[in-house]
Amino acid sequence: MRDAVIFDMDGTLCDTSSIQHMVEGDDKDFAAFHAASADCPAHADVVEAARAQHEQGRAVLVVTSREFIWRDLTLDWLVAHDVPYDALYMRIVGDYRKDVVIKSEILQRIADDGYTVLEAWDDKPAVVNLWREHDIVVHVVG
């Protein structure tokens, strides 16, 4: 088993505060939100944490609720912001269950892939609680 850390994407690595309005209220537009996220800045302190974890030899796992169709955009953003990562875990296209359900299943896949998650960086309260329920040290962003 390899020691690993989880980093969420939207609102954590990627500062989506300027486009958050696109996914609030009754007229949510996730396609526009994710497309616009390509131009969002990084949360510099979170990116620095990812780099530090990578330098310590821990696997950096990007765990996002973005659908797989946004994979290339996500990878491009990670490269553009010099975020080291060992694996990217994403939502299956068309799976609209709650983020906490998706990430719970991803956590099992992570274990199956041979990782032991020690820490996580996330911004959503329900997901923060999920990580804590699994004895993962959480750094709350935002």
Rounded CA-CA distance 27/37 in Å is: 18
DSSP letter for 61, please: E
Instruction: Output the domain CATH number for residue 45.
Output: 3.40.50.1000
* Tally of domains within the chain: 1
pLDDT in tens, 13-36: 999 999 999 999 999 999 999 999
Residues facing 91 on adjacent strands: 67
What sign does the dihedral 64-70-72-76 (CA atoms) show?
negative
What sign does the dihedral 141-72-68-22 (CA atoms) show?
positive
CB contact at 8 A, 82 and 103: no
pLDDT in tens, 90-100: 999 999 999 99
Name the residue range of residue 10's domain.
2-140
Q: Which residue has the higher pLDDT, 91 or 142?
A: 91
Q: What pLDDT score was predicted for residue 108?
A: 98
Q: Which two tokens stand for residue 40?
A: 């969002």
Pairing mode, strands 87-91 and 115-122: unpaired
Q: Which two tokens stand for residue 98?
A: 């709650």
Q: What pLDDT score was predicted for residue 142?
A: 85
Specify the DSSP element, H or E, that contains 115. strand 115-122
Share of the chain above pLDDT 90, in %: 98
